[in-house]
C-alpha cells in the first residue's frame, strides 16, 4: 500500500497569497466529512485535478472512532469493503471487519489517496456567496465554488416522542452512546427496534444476563448465508444492491426502509426474531406510547412478522430464479425456506415501568443525518432533503452517503464509489459550465 | 425488498379507480394541508342502552364534504343484558369497521398489483372478558383480549401473493392502526 507520509492535521494553506493567520481560505470544492464517503469523493476529485479540501470535525473515520459499540463488526463482508482504487486485500474475503479494522482501513485509504483533510474542523454553517459558498467552521471560513455534504447519515439517533415520558430512574441510551452491556444497570432492558442495530444489541445484552424485551416494528429479515454464499453476495449478484433510485416507483419509500437484520460474526451467525426468542428474549410489538407510567406496544407484531416472512420468501425466490437463469455451477440446491417467525399467542401489550422490571431502554429506532448547519433552501416542508440522486436545486451543492441516494447500496461503504464517480462527473461539468459562462460574460 | 408495487397498466378490475388513487397521492404530497381530514359522528341517546349515530358531513381535501346520503347506525345491547337489542353492540361495530377497512384495503392493493379478485370474505372473532366492563376485576381490561380476522380469498394469485395482499392491507389500514395502537381521546361536556 503506498502511503505518502503522515496525514496533514493542521490547517493546510491552499494557495499563494494567504498569510498565516488569515482565516478566510479558498478552494474549489469543500467536502464536509472525512468518512468513507468524503474520502471516496476526494479520490474522484483528485483524479479530475479539482482542488478541494475535506473538513472533518474529528479525525478521519470519526464516526467509527467515536460512535460505535465495542463488539460491532461490519455486516458487509471484507470483499465488499472497497472504495475507488482501494480494496480489502487480506486472507479472509468472507470475514467481517471489527471497528478498529475499519478505522485502519479508512486511515490507509486517506493516506493512499492523499486526501487533504483538515481535522478538528467542525462545519457550523454553509451559505451561498456570489457564485459560490462560504463554509463557516470552528477554524474560520472557507470560500468555495462547490460543496459536497458527506457528513454521514447516522449522526443522530431517531428516538420516538415517547422516550421523553420515560420515568427518570430508567436509564435511556441511544446506540450512539451504547458501548457494552456492563454500561447498563443490572436487570431488564428494553431494546426498541428490531433492525440490524436492535437485534445485535438485544442478542449481546441478553447474553450478558440482563433479560431483554425487544420491541419490533417493520423489519427486513434475511439469512446471513444462502445456498453456500453470503447474502450480500446474492444481493449484489442479482442486482438488488445496485438498483438505482430512478428505476424504482417510489424512492422515498425505499429511503425509509429499515436496515437488513444482519450481524457480522466469525461464525457467520444469523440473528433473527426466532433465534432471539430461543435465547429467551421477549419479543413485543413496536413501542406505541407511554401513558401513566405504562409502556404500550402495538398489536401489529403478528403482521410485521408476516410481512417480513413474505418479503424474505420473495427475496429467496428472486435469488433462486436468478441462479436458474444463469446455469450457475456448484451452487447447492435451495434449502428449505426459513421457519416462519414464531409469534407468541399473546404478546405483551403493556408494561408497567414503575415495577422495576425494566431498568434501561436502548432506542435502536433508526438514525438521521444532522444538517442543522446547512442554511440553504434544500429541505421540503417535512424537513426532508430535496435532491435528485444527490444533486440539489442549489447549483454546486451535492449530497453523498444518504439512504438510497442513487442506489440501494448508497449508505454502504461499497456504495460510495459509484455515487462519488457520478456526482464528481456532474460537479466537474457544472464547474466547467460555470467557468465557460463566466468567461463569455467577461469576454463580452 | 424487490419491487413492491407493480404499476404497469393491468387487466384486473376490482372496482377500484387506481389512477384516481395515484393522482390523489401525488396531489396530497404536493398539498399536505388538503390531507387534513376531520371525521364527525353525531350520537343521540334513544332509550336504555339504545342510541343512534349519524354520519353525514366531514371535512377533507380542504373543503366541507357530504356523504351521498345520511348513514345511521343503531347501537344497543342484547336481550341477555336486559336490553332491547335495537342494534349491534358498539363493540361489534368496531369489528365491522375493522373488517370493512381491511377488505377495502385488500381490494385496493389487489388492484394496484393487478390481481383479479373473485371473492373475499372475512370472519372476525373477538374475545373479551365482561368482568372488565362490569368492574368486577380491575385487572381485566374493558376492551378485547384478542381479535382474530380470518380471510377467505379467491383470486388469480399464489397463496403467498394473497397473504401479501392481506398483510399490506393491514399495514395501510386506519382501523387496524386505531385498534392496535393507542390514541389520545378527549371526552368533554358542553
Ligand atoms: C452501527 C452502524 C453499522 C454500520 N455497519 C455498516 C456495515 O457493516 N457496512 C457498511 O457498508 N456500512 C455500514 N454502516 C453504514 C455506513 O457505512 C456508515 O454509517 C458510515 O460511517 C457512513 O460513512 P459516511 O462517510 O457517509 O459517514 P461517516 O462515517 O459518518 O462520516 C461523516 C464524517 O463527517 C463528519 N462530520 C459530520 N458533521 C460534521 C460537521 N458539521 N463538520 C465537520 N465534520 C462533520 C463526521 O465526524 C464523520 O467523520 C453502518 C452504520 C452504522 C451506524
**Cell 431502554 appears where?**
A361
Tell me, rounded to whole angstroms, the distance of Cα A231 from its chain centroid. 18
| Rounded average pLDDT over A314-322 | 96
Residues A344 and A199 both lie in one domain: yes
Residues A395 and A336 both lie in one domain: no
**What pLDDT sits at residue A444?**
32
CB atoms within 10 A of CB A404: 22
Exposure class string for B10-38: b at 16+ Cβ within 10 A, else e: eebebebebeeeeeeeeeeeeeeeeeeee
Q: Which of A84, A118, A152 has most ligand 1 atoms within 8 Å of CB, for mutation?
A: A152
Indicate whether A115 belongs to any domain.
Answer: yes
- Can you tell me the distance from the alpha carbon of A145 to that of A135, in angstroms, rounded to the nearest whole number? 10
Cβ–Cβ under 8 Å, residues A106 and A60? yes
Decide if A315 and B1 are in contact by the 8 Å CB cutoff: yes
What letter does residue A293 receive in the DSSP assignment?
T
Task: For residue range B63-95, list pLDDT tens digits in order.
Answer: 999 999 999 999 999 999 999 999 999 999 999
Beta strand ranges found along B19-116 (DSSP E): 38-39, 42-47, 50-60, 63-75
User: Last residue of a domain, which of A317, A348, A367?
Assistant: A367
Q: Which residues belong to CATH 3.30.300.20 in chain B?
A: 18-88, 89-181
Give yes or no for residue A438 having a pLDDT over 70. Answer: no
| Rounded average pLDDT over B27-49 | 95
Least confident segment among A13-17, A65-69, A92-96, B110-114: A13-17
Residues A347 and A363 both lie in one domain: yes
**What pLDDT sits at residue B154?**
98
**What pLDDT sits at residue B3?**
37
**What pLDDT sits at residue B8?**
53
Residues A274 and A346 both lie in one domain: yes
3-state secondary structure of A314: helix
Rounded to the nearest 5°, which phi and psi values hold at A32?
-95, 115
Indicate whether A1 belongs to any domain.
Answer: no
Least confident segment among A97-106, A329-338, A419-428, A430-439: A430-439
**Cell 438510497 appears where?**
A404
| Rounded average pLDDT over A262-283 | 98
- Can you tell me the distance from the alpha carbon of A101 to that of A84, in angstroms, rounded to the nearest whole number? 18
Looking at the 3D structure of chain A, how many domains does it have?
2
Residues A428 and A354 both lie in one domain: no
Task: For residue range A139-181, list pLDDT tens digits in order.
Answer: 999 999 999 999 999 999 999 999 999 999 999 999 999 999 9
**What pLDDT sits at residue A383?**
82
Q: Give the residue numbers in A contacting B (CB under 8 Å), as ranges.
A: 220, 240, 248-250, 253, 285, 288-289, 291, 296, 298-300, 303, 306-307, 310-311, 313-315, 318, 346, 381-382
Least confident segment among A18-32, A175-189, A352-366, B69-83: A18-32
Give yes or no for residue A13 having a pLDDT over 50. Answer: no
3-state secondary structure of B45: strand
In this structure, what CATH number is given to the domain that contains residue A33?
3.50.50.60
User: Last residue of a domain, which of A345, A367, A389?
Assistant: A367
CATH class of residue range B89-181: alpha beta
- Bridge partners of residue B169, in order along the sequence: none
Residues A346 and A318 both lie in one domain: yes
Indicate whether A73 belongs to any domain.
Answer: yes
**What pLDDT sits at residue B79?**
96
Consecutive H or E run containing B68: strand B63-75
Contacts of A394 (CB under 8 A, 6+ apart): A128, A376, A377, A378
**What pLDDT sits at residue A23?**
63
**What pLDDT sits at residue A14?**
44
Cβ–Cβ under 8 Å, residues A389 and A406? yes
| Rounded average pLDDT over A206-235 | 97
Consecutive H or E run containing B151: strand B146-155
Give yes or no for residue A17 having a pLDDT over 70. Answer: no
What letter does residue A126 receive in the DSSP assignment?
E
Cβ–Cβ under 8 Å, residues B14 and B116? yes
CATH number listed for the domain at residues B18-88: 3.30.300.20
Q: Which three cell numbers stand for residue A80?
A: 465488499
**What pLDDT sits at residue A73?**
98
Kind of pairing, strands A350-352 and A294-297?
antiparallel
Indicate whether A97 belongs to any domain.
Answer: yes
- Can you tell me the distance from the alpha carbon of B4 to that of B15, in angstroms, rounded to the nearest whole number? 21
Enclosing domain of residue A65? 24-155+369-443
**Residues in the ligand 1 pocket, defined by CB under 6 Å:** A 32-38, 55-58, 62-63, 68, 74-76, 122-123, 150-155, 197, 367, 373, 401, 411-414
Distances (CA, A) of A314 to A320, A331, B164: 10, 19, 10
- Can you tell me the distance from the alpha carbon of B102 to that of B177, in angstroms, rounded to the nearest whole number? 11
Residues A246 and A112 both lie in one domain: no
| Rounded average pLDDT over A278-282 | 98
Residues A172 and A150 both lie in one domain: no
Decide if A249 and B164 are in contact by the 8 Å CB cutoff: no
Task: For residue range B126-185, list pLDDT tens digits in order.
Answer: 999 999 988 898 888 899 999 999 999 999 999 999 999 999 999 999 999 999 998 888
Nearest partner of A405 among A184, A188, A217, A153, judged by Cα = A153
Indicate whether A232 belongs to any domain.
Answer: yes
- Secondary structure (H, E, C), A386-400: CCECCECCCCCEEEC
Nearest partner of A198 among A186, A189, A208, A210, judged by Cα = A189
**What pLDDT sits at residue B147?**
96
Decide if B5 and A240 are in contact by the 8 Å CB cutoff: no
B137 touching A (Cβ < 8 Å): no
Residues A184 and A145 both lie in one domain: no
Nearest partner of A349 among A303, A300, A301, A297, judged by Cα = A297
**Dihedral in degrees, nearest 10, Cα atoms A414, A415, A418, A424:** -120
Residues A151 and A169 both lie in one domain: no
Residues A320 and A411 both lie in one domain: no
A115-129, A374-388, B8-22: which has the highest mean pLDDT? A115-129
Band (A221; pLDDT cuts 50, 70, 90):
very high
User: Last residue of a domain, which of A367, A385, A420?
Assistant: A367
- Is this prediction's ipTM beyond 0.85? no
Residues A112 and A133 both lie in one domain: yes
Band (A22; pLDDT cuts 50, 70, 90):
low
**Cell 470475514 appears where?**
A95
Nearest atom in ligand 1 to the alpha carbon of residue A97 is 8
**What pLDDT sits at residue A329?**
80
3-state secondary structure of A90: coil
Nearest partner of B166 among B80, B106, B76, judged by Cα = B106
Indicate whether A47 belongs to any domain.
Answer: yes
Residues on chain A touching B1 (C-beta within 8 angstroms): 220, 240, 311, 314-315
Decide if A314 and B2 are in contact by the 8 Å CB cutoff: yes
Q: Which three cell numbers stand for residue B88?
A: 349491534
Looking at per-residue pLDDT, the higher value among A434 and A72 belongs to A72
3-state secondary structure of B175: helix
| Rounded average pLDDT over A186-210 | 98
Indicate whether A14 belongs to any domain.
Answer: no
Band (A31; pLDDT cuts 50, 70, 90):
very high
- Can you tell me the distance from the alpha carbon of A223 to that of A263, in angstroms, rounded to the nearest whole number? 10
Task: For residue range B6-33, list pLDDT tens digits in order.
Answer: 445 679 999 999 899 889 989 998 898 9
Rounded to the nearest 5°, which phi and psi values hold at A405?
-55, -55
- Can you tell me the distance from the alpha carbon of A27 to that of A146, in angstroms, rounded to the nearest whole number? 9
Band (A7; pLDDT cuts 50, 70, 90):
very low
**What pLDDT sits at residue A437?**
55
Q: Calculate helix-pair angle for B90-112, B18-30, nearest 10 degrees.
A: 100
Consecutive H or E run containing B89: none
What letter does residue A409 receive in the DSSP assignment?
T
Give yes or no for residue A190 having a pLDDT over 90. Answer: yes
Average confidence score pLDDT of chain A: 92
Indicate whether A6 belongs to any domain.
Answer: no
Q: Which of A31, A59, A63 has most ligand 1 atoms within 8 Å of CB, for mutation?
A: A63
Amino acid at each position: 500500500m503506498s502511503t505518502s507520509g503522515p496525514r496533514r492535521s493542521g490547517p493546510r494553506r491552499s494557495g499563494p497569497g494567504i498569510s498565516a493567520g488569515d482565516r478566510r481560505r479558498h478552494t474549489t470544492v469543500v467536502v464536509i466529512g472525512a468518512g468513507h464517503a468524503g474520502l471516496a469523493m476526494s479520490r474522484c476529485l483528485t483524479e479530475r485535478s479539482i482542488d478541494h479540501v475535506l473538513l472533518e470535525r474529528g479525525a478521519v473515520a470519526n464516526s467509527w472512532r467515536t460512535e460505535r459499540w465495542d463488539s460491532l463488526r461490519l455486516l458487509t463482508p471484507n470483499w465488499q469493503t472497497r472504495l475507488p482504487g482501494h480494496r480489502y486485500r487480506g486472507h479472509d474475503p468472507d470475514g467481517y471487519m471489527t471497528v478498529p479494522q475499519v478505522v485502519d482501513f479508512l486511515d490507509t485509504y486517506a493516506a493512499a489517496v492523499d486526501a487533504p483533510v483538515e481535522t478538528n474542523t467542525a462545519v457550523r454553517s454553509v451559505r451561498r456567496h456570489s457564485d459560490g459558498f462560504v463554509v463557516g467552521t470552528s477554524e474560520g471560513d472557507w470560500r468555495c465554488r462547490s460543496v459536497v455534504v458527506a457528513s454521514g447519515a447516522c449522526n443522530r439517533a431517531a428516538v420516538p416522542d415517547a422516550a421523553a415520558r420515560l420515568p427518570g430512574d430508567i436509564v435511556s441510551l441511544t446506540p450512539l452512546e451504547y458501548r457494552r452491556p456492563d454500561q447498563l444497570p443490572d436487570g431488564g432492558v428494553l431494546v426498541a427496534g428490531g433492525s440490524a442495530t436492535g437485534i445485535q444489541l438485544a442478542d449481546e445484552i441478553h447474553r450478558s444476563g440482563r433479560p431483554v424485551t425487544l420491541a419490533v416494528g417493520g423489519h427486513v429479515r434475511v439469512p446471513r448465508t444462502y445456498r453456500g454464499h453470503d447474502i450480500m453476495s446474492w444481493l449484489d449478484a442479482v442486482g438488488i444492491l445496485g438498483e438505482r433510485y430512478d428505476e424504482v416507483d417510489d424512492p422515498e419509500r425505499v429511503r425509509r426502509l429499515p436496515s437488513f437484520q444482519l450481524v457480522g460474526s466469525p461464525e457467520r451467525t444469523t440473528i433473527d426474531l426466532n433465534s432471539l426468542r430461543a435465547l429467551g428474549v421477549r419479543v413485543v410489538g413496536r413501542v406505541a406510547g407511554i401513558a401513566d407510567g405504562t409502556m404500550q406496544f402495538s398489536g401489529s407484531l403478528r403482521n410485521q412478522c408476516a410481512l417480513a416472512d413474505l418479503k424474505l420468501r420473495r427475496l429467496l425466490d428472486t435469488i433462486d430464479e436468478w441462479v436458474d437463469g444463469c446455469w450457475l455451477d456448484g451452487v447447492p440446491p435451495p434449502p428449505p425456506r426459513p421457519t416462519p417467525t414464531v409469534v407468541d399467542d399473546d404478546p405483551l401489550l403493556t408494561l408497567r415501568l414503575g415495577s422495576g422490571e425494566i431498568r434501561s431502554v436502548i432506542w435502536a429506532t433508526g438514525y438521521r443525518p444532522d444538517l442543522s448547519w446547512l442554511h440553504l433552501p434544500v429541505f421540503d416542508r417535512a424537513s426532508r432533503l430535496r435532491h435528485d440522486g444527490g444533486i440539489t436545486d442549489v447549483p454546486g451543492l451535492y449530497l453523498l452517503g444518504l439512504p438510497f441516494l442513487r442506489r440501494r447500496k448508497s449508505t454502504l461503504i461499497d456504495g460510495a464509489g459509484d455515487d462519488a464517480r457520478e456526482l464528481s462527473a456532474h460537479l466537474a461539468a457544472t464547474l466547467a459550465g460555470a467557468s465557460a459562462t463566466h468567461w463569455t460574460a467577461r469576454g463580452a | 425488498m424487490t419491487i413492491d408495487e407493480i404499476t404497469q397498466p393491468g387487466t384486473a378490475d376490482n372496482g377500484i379507480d387506481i389512477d384516481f388513487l395515484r393522482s390523489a397521492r401525488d396531489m396530497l404530497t404536493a398539498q399536505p394541508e388538503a390531507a387534513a381530514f376531520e371525521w364527525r359522528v353525531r350520537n343521540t341517546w334513544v332509550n336504555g342502552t339504545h342510541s343512534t349515530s349519524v354520519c353525514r358531513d366531514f371535512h377533507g381535501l380542504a373543503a366541507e364534504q357530504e356523504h351521498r346520503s345520511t348513514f345511521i347506525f343503531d347501537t344497543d345491547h342484547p336481550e341477555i343484558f336486559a336490553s332491547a337489542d335495537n342494534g349491534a353492540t358498539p363493540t361489534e361495530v368496531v369489528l365491522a369497521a375493522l373488517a370493512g377497512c381491511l377488505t377495502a384495503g385488500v381490494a385496493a392493493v389487489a388492484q394496484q398489483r393487478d390481481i383479479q379478485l373473485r371473492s373475499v370474505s372475512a370472519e372476525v372473532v373477538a374475545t373479551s372478558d365482561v368482568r372488565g366492563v362490569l368492574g368486577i376485576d380491575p385487572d381485566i381490561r374493558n376492551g378485547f383480549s384478542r381479535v382474530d380476522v380470518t380471510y377467505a380469498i379467491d383470486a388469480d394469485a399464489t397463496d403467498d401473493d394473497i397473504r401479501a395482499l392481506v398483510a399490506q392491507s393491514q399495514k395501510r389500514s386506519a382501523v387496524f392502526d386505531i385498534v392496535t395502537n393507542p390514541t389520545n381521546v378527549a371526552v368533554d361536556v358542553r
